[in-house]
């Protein structure tokens, strides 16, 4: 019999009760049974369908078919809302010839050998890469499995496989009408050798790809039955919450826990180097206990660090630091013409996933088990190994559905901390961060300081372009090996070095200015393109204005031979009615165009700005060419949601530091967009047969410049610093004074206006 | 001992009077469909019904629920209105990460119970307290209208 690699096998030669049992039932199930078992853990019921004594067909890391009729698809990329499970399952199911209603999906175990993302060099989900790399990998995997099942049927019938067809888990021998279910073929297929390469379907034969299939994960999300990491409950589990030193990089000094221990339900106080945790019978006891602690912090080197200092330092570095070349085309020096230049500033940002960070950990003398929603499962094993001293094969990570990721769960700091806490308890511990802790201890999107300039020829077209960005490198922390030979972090110049426009002379470079030690940085939805496209597309708008040209006509002239960019531009412009009829006073329409993550997008926005400076988004129209579309419903959702995520940041979000500590605390002062502020968003997809591009982050990339360009059109005010300072948009002070006198109890937005009026008065 | 009526069932819990209902539901009773998001009534992830009114369970002391009917997402799923709303949610595929969606559905069902055909302004008022970081607001608005009118103005997903 030919040995098949089981998904849970290669690097997980694990844990009791037995490896054999694990192979039969799936790692999650066995590990959970071992703990005493409870039915709330996701996957138990589904995995149990491939049951004891029934061999299964598992031809590769992604497909398992039981002779009970079950079809399990193992998901190499994680699900955090972006639709990755449905996209991956669609690619597998299409070539396997099963329906999405016939399959279950399973979180991949931590296993770099089987599940590393080749585009990231790690078992990681991010960078809008999932469909781009799975497009080939998963269709091949599905096709190979199907081919083996069909071969098994052909052998059974003693006919040629070419006479057999497959559909919805059933092989049919067309000449005789005989049929066999995959369930009946699983045992025989498991004895066959996988083909070197199975043929893939012609796109015209696709049954699932390109259709708005219902997501595989949403039924449990609308009735509350689908557990997220925070919902996991294991027998004997207690609940902890934690506070790290508010001054980033600081340490714990003395802890007086007398009052905390007196609170009913408080079980234990755990002191770590930089944080203190309280374990309780439930979260409420733990939180009350934490609040009752008297902690003396050693605030360390950042005790006087401020956001003002950060931007001063970056401005200085931008002028005097050593730039690293991102891209040089022609010669920018000595080009004559009209010179335009500007400086842009972007703030640090937090992620604020709706599900606060949490981890369930059970550290035992011989093993460590972790339940967590993570974008980097293998790295969670690494940190658990470091903290517990146990070998990697004694660590088991059960990945979970995530209540948002946005890059935050690409970092395993909270998992490492939870293991350290649980190591001091002889029972499983669920560590939940409060929202305040989530904002105070994020891995922040770095701040950026960009200087950009251009020289315009007689027709107003840019003939020279220089863009220097200054800021911290996330890649140097996340994947040092991915840094360029010259020290370039490619993220810093993504969508700055590779513009959709044809400009004869360009220089794009970066001055690395890392945060002080202890101020952690991380990936944030849209990564480099979110930063650079804001700067580039704002500045292109500035150039159009300087040249006296319409922003759309100006971009058309700059595009050169770029048919895909041109097509999304024309589609968005047509759908939005650009140039058709005059807009009322203080209404404006703005545009942004870019090609991030292998896709092409154009967004046109309409806004209204009140005399008091309040911004009302009226409408957004997006056109996208993301190559072959796997699920058009998901594409639309990601662009709508991505835009909202970006607008939140543009309008409200910014992390500021004072005394080395984050000043924002919760959603009251780290505001994000609400339903009543969200405009209608139309998404139009350009049909394409190209390779799939990324989609999950593209909307966020487009959000900020399309908004600020529309505000410029409405007010004539160019916003070069985010988040938007609406006091800059006030038409006249009298308008504000009128608001002030009318409001006795200022609240929310009106309160903001009143505060601005006072500051201006 | 505190006696609560949750989803039509009487339940006894031994917890402090000031413990928020959210943590009684999640950590004591084990009803985890109600979510923790902020702890200060800013995000709506913890929305439940108290005698039919949408309330934020993260700031509601459990003593405040005594003698009243508490309905959670687990209970709403069994009602006709709850099912209609959930079907609309799936039909146009509102949920992304889904973490806030149980709270969104609790807010939406409370709205529709009081105003069966809400206007845009009604929806703004009822739903602006529920944050969604995935940005599903456009579809939430559409799904509420679909649930209210039965009219499918947007393409529906293929189940």
Torsion of CA A623, A625, A629, A634, to 10 degrees: -40
What digits encode the pLDDT tens for the residues A659-698? 999 999 999 999 999 999 999 999 999 999 999 999 999 9
The answer on pLDDT for A148 being more than 70 is yes
How, if at all, do strands B53-56 and B47-50 pair?
A: antiparallel
Per-residue pLDDT band at A74 (split at 50, 70, 90): very high
Q: How far apart are CA A356 and CA A373, in angstroms?
A: 11
User: Which of A601, A685, A690, A687 minimizes the C-alpha distance to A646?
Assistant: A601
* Separation in Å, CA A411 to CA A272, A354, A414, B23: 19, 17, 8, 27
Please name the member of A225, A233, A281 whose beta carbon is closest to the beta carbon of B30: A233
Name chain A contacts of B94, Cβ cutoff 8 Å. 218, 222
pLDDT bin (cut points 50, 70, 90) of residue A23 is very low
Residue A185: which residues within 8 A CB-CB, separation 6 or more? Answer: A57, A149, A152, A153, A156, A171
Q: Cα A306 from chain centroid?
A: 28
Contacts A–B by Cβ distance under 8 A: 202
Among the partner-chain residues B77, B93, B135, the one whose CB lies closest to the CB of A644 is: B135
10 Å CB burial of residue A483 (0-12, 13-18, 19+) is middle
CA dist A240 to A35, A254, A260, A358, Å? 20, 20, 13, 10
- What's the pLDDT score for residue A732? 80
How far, CA to CA in Å, does A516 sit from each of A161, B106, B131?
64, 44, 33
CA A437 – CA A520 distance, rounded (Å): 14
More confident residue, A51 or A13: A51
Q: Which residues of B touch A672 (CB under 8 A)?
A: 131, 133
Contact between chains at B35 and A403 (C-beta distance less than 8 A): yes
pLDDT at A99 over 50: yes
Judge contact between A613 and A730, C-beta under 8 A. yes
pLDDT at A739: 65
Q: Which pair of tokens denotes residue A553?
A: 């006509």
Position A18 scores a pLDDT of 34
pLDDT band (50, 70, 90) for residue A411: very high
Q: How far is A167 from chain B (nearest CA, A)?
A: 17
Instruction: Note which residues in 509-548 of chain A have CB less than 8 A from chain B.
Output: none
Structure confidence at residue A741 (pLDDT): 67
Closest CA to A696 of A614, A640, A736: A640
Q: What is the CA radius of gyration of chain A?
A: 28
Instruction: For chain A, say whether B73 makes contact (Cβ under 8 Å).
Output: yes
Q: What's the predicted TM-score (pTM) here?
A: 0.92
Q: How far apart are CA A41 and CA A401, in angstroms?
A: 11
The larger pLDDT score, comparing residue A6 to residue A418, is at A418
Spell out which residues of chain B touch residue A404, defining contact as CB-CB under 8 Å: 97, 99, 133-134
Q: Which two tokens stand for residue A88?
A: 């991956």
**Residue carrying the six token digits 């709508």:** A640
B138 in reach of chain A (CB within 8 A): yes
Q: Helices A130-157 & A84-96, crossing angle to 10 degrees?
A: 30
Residues of B in contact with A264 (CB under 8 A): 16
Quote the pLDDT of residue A216. 97
**Which residues of chain B have a CB within 8 Å of the CB of A231?**
26, 32
Mean pLDDT of A216-227: 97
Minimum mean pLDDT range among A50-59, A142-151, B4-13:
A50-59
Q: In which band, very low, low, confident or very high, does the pLDDT at A51 lie, cut at 50, 70 and 90? A: very low
Q: Which among A214, A284, A674 is the nearest to B159, CB-wise?
A: A214
Distance CA(A33)–CA(A88), nearest Å, equals 28
Structure tokens at A591: 């545009």
Please report the pLDDT score of residue A755 as a whole number: 54
CB contact B130 to A (< 8 Å): yes
Residue-level pLDDT at A517? 96
C-alpha torsion sign, points A613, A615, A618, A619: positive
How close, in Å, is residue B57 to chain A by CA atoms? 13
Give residue B24's pLDDT band: very low, low, confident or very high (50, 70, 90).
very high
Cα-based angle A392, A383, A396 (whole degrees, multiple of 5): 45
Instruction: Specify the higher pLDDT residue, A594 or A197.
Output: A594
User: Which helix or strand (DSSP H or E) is residue A545 part of?
Assistant: helix A527-547
A 276-295 residues with CB < 8 A to B = 281-284, 287
**Mean pLDDT of the A461-474 span:** 98
Q: Cβ A675–B100 below 8 Å, yes or no? A: no
Residues 6+ apart with CB under 8 A from B79: B109
- The rounded mean pLDDT for chain A is 91
Answer whether residue A382 shows pLDDT above 70. yes
Beta bridge partners of A606: A589, A619
Give A734's pLDDT tier (boundaries 50, 70, 90): confident
User: Whose CA is closest to A430, among A262, A225, A228, A255?
Assistant: A228
Q: What is the DSSP letter of A162?
A: G
Average pLDDT along chain B = 97
Token pair, residue B6, equals 């949750």
Report yes or no: A86 at the B interface, CB cutoff 8 Å: no
Looking at residue A56, what is its pLDDT? Answer: 87
Put simply, whether A262 touches B (Cβ < 8 Å) is: no
- List, for residues B71-119, the tens digit of each pLDDT value: 999 999 999 999 999 999 999 999 999 999 999 999 999 999 999 999 9
- What is the CA angle A473-A80-A663, rounded to 5? 50
pLDDT of residue A750: 43
Mean pLDDT on A216-221: 97
Judge whether residue A156 has pLDDT over 80: yes
Q: How far is A404 from chain B (nearest CA, A)?
A: 5
Residue A298: is its pLDDT beyond 60? yes
pLDDT score, position A733: 73
Using the structure block, give the residue that is written with the tokens 């009219």: B151
Q: CB-based contact (8 Å) between B111 and chain A?
A: no
The model's pLDDT over A412-459, given as tens digits with 9 standing for 90+, comes to: 999 999 999 999 999 999 999 999 999 999 999 999 999 999 999 999
Phi/psi of residue B3, nearest 5 degrees:
-105, 125
Coil vs helix vs strand at B56: strand
Q: Greatest CA span in chain A, whole angstroms? A: 91
Measured CA distances, B104 to B48, B111, B126 (Å): 10, 11, 10
Q: Is B31 left (phi over 0), alpha (psi -120 to 50) or beta?
A: beta
Q: Which of B152, B65, B69, B55 is nearest to B103 (CA)?
A: B55
How far apart (Å, rounded) are the C-alpha atoms in residues A506 and A464? Answer: 6
Q: Say yes or no for a CB contact (<8 Å) between B140 and A675.
A: yes
**Best mutation target, A39, A215, A223, to test chain B (most B CBs within 10 A):** A223
């Amino acid at each position: 019999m030919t040995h098949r690699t089981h998904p849970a096998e290669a690097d997980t030669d694990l844990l009791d009760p037995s490896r054999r049992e694990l192979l039969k039932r799936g790692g999650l199930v066995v590990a959970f049974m071992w703990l005493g078992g409870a039915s709330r853990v996701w996957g138990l019921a589904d995995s149990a369908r491939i049951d004891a004594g029934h061999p299964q067909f598992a031809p590769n890391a992604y497909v398992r078919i039981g002779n009970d009729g079950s079809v399990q698809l193992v998901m190499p990329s994680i699900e955090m809302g972006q639709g990755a499970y449905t996209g991956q399952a669609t690619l597998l199911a299409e070539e396997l010839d099963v329906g999405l209603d016939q399959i279950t999906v399973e979180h991949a175990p931590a296993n770099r050998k089987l599940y590393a993302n080749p585009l990231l060099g790690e078992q990681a989900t991010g960078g809008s890469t999932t469909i781009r790399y799975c497009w080939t990998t998963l269709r091949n995997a599905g096709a190979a499995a199907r081919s083996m099942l069909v071969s098994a049927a052909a052998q059974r019938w003693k006919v040629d496989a070419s006479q057999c067809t497959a559909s919805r888990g059933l092989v049919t021998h067309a000449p005789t009408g005989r049929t066999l279910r995959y369930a009946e073929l699983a045992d025989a297929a498991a004895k066959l050798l996988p083909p070197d390469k199975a043929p893939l379907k012609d796109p015209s034969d696709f049954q699932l790809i390109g259709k708005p299939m219902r997501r595989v994960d949403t039924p449990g999300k609308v009735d509350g039955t689908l557990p997220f990491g925070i919902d996991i409950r294991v027998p004997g589990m207690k609940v902890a919450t934690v506070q790290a030193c508010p001054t980033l990089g600081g340490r714990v000094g003395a802890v007086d826990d007398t009052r905390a221990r007196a609170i009913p339900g408080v079980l234990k106080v755990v002191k770590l180097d930089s944080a203190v945790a309280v374990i309780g019978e439930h979260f409420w006891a733990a939180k009350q206990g934490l609040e009752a602690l008297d902690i003396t912090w050693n605030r360390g080197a950042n005790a006087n660090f401020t956001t003002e200092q950060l931007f001063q330092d970056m401005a200085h570095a931008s002028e005097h630091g050593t730039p690293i070349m991102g891209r040089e085309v022609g010669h920018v020096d000595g080009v004559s013409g009209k010179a335009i230049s500007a400086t842009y500033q972007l703030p640090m940002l937090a992620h604020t996933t709706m599900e606060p960070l949490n981890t369930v950990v059970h550290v035992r003398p011989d093993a460590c088990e972790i339940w967590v929603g993570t974008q980097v499962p293998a790295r969670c094993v690494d940190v658990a190994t470091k903290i517990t001293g146990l070998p990697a094969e004694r660590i088991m990570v059960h990945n979970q559905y995530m209540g948002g990721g946005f890059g935050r769960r690409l970092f395993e700091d909270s998992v490492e901390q939870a293991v350290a806490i649980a190591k001091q308890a002889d029972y499983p511990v669920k560590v939940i961060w409060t929202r305040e802790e989530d904002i105070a201890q994020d891995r922040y999107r770095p701040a950026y300081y960009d200087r950009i300039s251009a020289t315009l020829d007689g027709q107003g077209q840019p003939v020279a372009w220089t863009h220097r960005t200054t800021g911290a490198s996330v890649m140097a922390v996340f994947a040092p090996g991915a840094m360029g030979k010259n020290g370039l972090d490619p993220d810093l110049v993504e969508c700055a070095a590779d513009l959709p426009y044809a400009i004869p002379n360009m220089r794009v470079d970066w001055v690395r200015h890392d945060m002080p030690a202890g101020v952690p940085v991380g990936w944030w939805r849209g990564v480099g393109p979110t930063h650079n496209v804001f700067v580039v597309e704002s500045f292109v708008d500035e150039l159009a204005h300087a040249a006296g040209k319409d922003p759309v006509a100006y971009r058309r002239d700059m595009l050169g031979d770029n048919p895909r960019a041109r097509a999304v531009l024309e589609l968005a412009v047509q759908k939005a009615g650009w140039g058709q009829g005059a807009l009322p006073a203080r209404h404006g329409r703005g545009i942004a165009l870019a090609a991030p993550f292998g896709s092409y997008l154009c967004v046109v926005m309409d806004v209204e700005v009140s005399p008091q400076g309040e911004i009302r988004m009226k409408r957004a129209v997006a056109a996208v060419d993301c190559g072959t579309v796997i699920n058009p419903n998901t594409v639309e959702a990601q662009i709508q949601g991505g835009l909202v995520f970006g607008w939140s940041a543009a309008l409200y979000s910014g992390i500021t530091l004072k005394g080395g500590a984050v000043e924002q605390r919760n959603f009251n002062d780290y505001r994000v967009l609400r339903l009543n502020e969200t405009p209608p968003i139309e998404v139009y997809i350009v049909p394409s047969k190209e390779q799939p591009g990324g989609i999950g982050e593209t909307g966020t990339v487009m959000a900020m410049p399309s908004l600020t360009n529309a505000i410029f059109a409405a007010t004539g005010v160019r916003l070069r610093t985010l988040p938007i300072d609406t006091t800059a948009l006030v038409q006249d002070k009298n308008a504000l004074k009128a608001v002030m006198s009318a409001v006795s109890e200022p609240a929310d937005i009106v309160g903001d206006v009143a505060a601005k009026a006072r500051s201006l008065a | 001992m505190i006696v609560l009526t949750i989803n039509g069932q009487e339940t006894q819990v031994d917890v402090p009077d000031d413990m928020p209902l959210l943590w009684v539901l999640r950590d004591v009773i084990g009803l985890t469909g109600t979510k923790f998001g902020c702890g200060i009534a800013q995000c709506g992830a913890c929305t439940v019904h108290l005698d039919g009114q949408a309330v934020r369970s993260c700031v509601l002391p459990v003593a405040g629920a005594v003698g009243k009917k508490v309905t959670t997402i687990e209970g709403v799923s069994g009602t006709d209105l709850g099912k209609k709303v959930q079907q609309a949610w799936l039909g146009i595929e509102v949920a992304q990460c889904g973490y806030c969606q149980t709270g969104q559905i609790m807010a939406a069902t409370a709205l529709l119970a009081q105003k069966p055909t809400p206007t845009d302004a009604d929806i703004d008022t009822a739903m602006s307290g529920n944050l969604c970081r995935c940005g599903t607001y456009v579809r939430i608005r559409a799904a509420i209208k679909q649930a209210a009118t039965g009219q499918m103005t947007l393409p529906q997903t293929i189940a």
